[in-house]
Amino acid sequence: MSTKLIGKTILSVDPGRDKCGVAALNIDGTVLYQRVVETAAMPGKISRLKREYEADILVIGNGTTSSEAQEHIKGECPELQIVEMDEYFTTQLARREYWKVKPPRGWRKLLPTSMQEPPEPVDDFVAVILARRYLEEHSKK
């Protein structure tokens, strides 16, 4: 299905069983909102972000819980166009982005970040990566 960027922002979700990464980005890739939310709260959060940022497209990762998450989002925001994106390698990329934004401190600075696990979930960084993949793909068209 072809999608066309109409509004100035897009929403993105990295769906999961217990938690989801949620993001809102300008069409230039600037992050406006980025959080990890409980899966049960995600559809309501998407509805609020849709209104706040006047988004008409939602990008969602194609992982295991994607279909279920899409059903919940459609129930809350039936007019929102939903586009699946490949989640390949996003967790590894998200970990790298996490350490750029929140560099290790103390003795952890001595260890390469590639050998460390972030101390908090990176699902929100995955949502940003998915949205940027979508924007990059559609800026070429």
Convert the pLDDT of each residue in 89-107 to its tens digit: 999 999 999 999 999 999 9
Domain at 9-139: CATH code: 3.30.420.140
Structure pTM? 0.93
Convert the pLDDT of each residue in 23-42 to its tens digit: 999 999 999 999 999 999 99
Closest to 22 measured CA to CA, from 79, 115, 141, 52: 52
What's the confidence (pLDDT) of residue 113? 94
Residue 89 is given by DSSP the state: T
Question: What band does 137 get if pLDDT is binned at 50, 70 and 90?
Answer: very high
What's the confidence (pLDDT) of residue 64? 87
**What are the start-end ranges of the E strands in 4-115?**
9-14, 19-26, 31-38, 57-61, 81-85
**What are the start-end ranges of the E strands in the chain?**
9-14, 19-26, 31-38, 57-61, 81-85
